[in-house]
Structure 1
């Protein structure tokens, strides 16, 4: 019994990184919000996403465990919606995606090195594993064109990752990216009745970098399968987990000519089959939500407040 209690105590201590990182990320975003016009929605969405993940964590970390009372009350007054809806609405994306959008807004999309260094500087102040992405991806339709950024899923554990990928597929990513990911979700086995994979044009840049080391990250096999990126890597990560998904989604949402060229070509990529694949993703999502005891979901996704 003593051994079991010791293991439990050690596990609970190991999870404290979630609370610590949640507090530090939110505090940094609040500082940036004061200095960055038009950034309110990123803080609002970040709060909801972190509160949701805290709610399904083992052990749970509700907002009351993240902030002291005085700060909690001030945040509730300034940002009421995340507190009201984190136990009923699903986030559309993981928390660090909101951090990334804040930094891109601050620095300007053309200042790639500054954006990457700002992310690295923040991550260095955080504990590893919790709420922290490992990679960033930059996509451009051509040299000197607008840059579109994405980070890998900032979740820990299989179930939170599955939830965030499914939520992004259903309510956030460009439909081509969502379709490509749904082709392999959740078991990394290609769908037998629907192939929504795409191939980015040869002149499109889609380049990932480590946020922990000073190195470029070649595409993994998953990103090669999804987006037609050339790679010799054989590692298959969970489809949709990589930074490429968010980056390519932003590219396709904004560069219509690239989207036309990248369209899926399989005869199985019909609207009927796409809907069938989406229904399958939603069914899996609901199963995972039951597993993490998130049983109040009524198919609503959180929409951030802009004012």
Structure 2
């Protein structure tokens, strides 16, 4: 990973964000994995990282990550390979995963979204939550809703957060236009995947899969968020239609998410959160 950032200009900000995300998740893990424990076998790497990337070490216990670490790995590889080269991106991520401990902070799926199946159109990538354990997953989903996901995607996820039950007072779910491509792939096997029932409920995707993952956990959430941030015409067609989707109700739903987030943080001994979400340093030479 450190070698990659030296190969491609603009990658160091992703290393900064990856480190903070890993350290924060280590902080809320049970048992905790603090930076000094993670790099216990190589003190020199630890000191070099502290010198090059000081902010993650300073802020991992007071600010929350906006997303899980594998999202940053994905962005680094997309930057390196180019967004059009999806097969190279898929293979690079699969090769990278083979070198890591199974399931620990590793995403299992990736999703690619486009305005349509036209291969010349921009591709927007997303990966599933690379968290370990139930509460860390809930924490990062809530943080993503409140900090980085596009408003429609955040609203859709907040409709069902933190349980798999629909909020009777707020429905921010959307329906993507039929010509939008939103295709998930396994990162553990070389195969495509159908949307789960949760993603069908959130984004109006067609599926026969009855599996219901936690809302916001799947790769589709990040991928669709990235799509809607850039493709305004798709966003306009996908806007929520429920009469309960008002700004007042949205703010109430967000306040509820933030309350659940704070409760979960207290439960996980992350009690010094200053209310901010981490922004990586970008002015690396």
Q: TM-score, normalised by structure 2?
A: 0.97
Q: Does 1:35 align with 2:7?
A: yes
Any idea what SS the aligned residue of 2:154 has? helix
For 1:183 and 1:46, locate their aligned partners in 2 and report how far apart those are by CA, in whole Å.
28
Look up the match of 1:297. 273
Q: Which has the higher helix share?
A: 1
Q: For this pair of structures, how many residues does the alignment match?
A: 279
**Offset, 1:270:** 0.2
For 1:59 and 1:269, locate their aligned partners in 2 and report how far apart those are by CA, in whole Å.
40
1:184-219 alpha-carbon deviations (Å, 9 max, x no partner): 001110001000000000000000001111211100
Look up the match of 1:207. 183
**Which of 257, 267, 275 is 2:243 aligned to?**
267
Pair member with larger Rg? 1
Any idea what SS the aligned residue of 2:125 has? strand
**Offset, 1:85:** 0.2
Look up the match of 1:71. 45
Look up the match of 2:155. 179
**Offset, 1:30:** 0.9
For 1:169 and 1:178, locate their aligned partners in 2 and report how far apart those are by CA, in whole Å.
5
Look up the match of 1:134. 108
> Which consecutive unaligned segments of at least 5 residues does structure 1 have?
1-28
Look up the match of 1:110. 84
Q: Does 1:96 align with 2:70?
A: yes
RMSD: 0.6
For 2:259 and 2:274, locate their aligned partners in 1 and report how far apart those are by CA, in whole Å.
13
For 2:64 and 2:268, locate their aligned partners in 1 and report how far apart those are by CA, in whole Å.
13
Look up the match of 2:256. 280
**Which of 224, 232, 240 is 1:248 aligned to?**
224
For 1:66 and 1:191, locate their aligned partners in 2 and report how far apart those are by CA, in whole Å.
40
Instruction: Could you list the structure 1 runs, at least 4 aligned residues long, displaced by more than 3 angstroms after superposition.
Output: none
Q: TM-score, normalised by structure 1?
A: 0.90
Look up the match of 1:306. 282
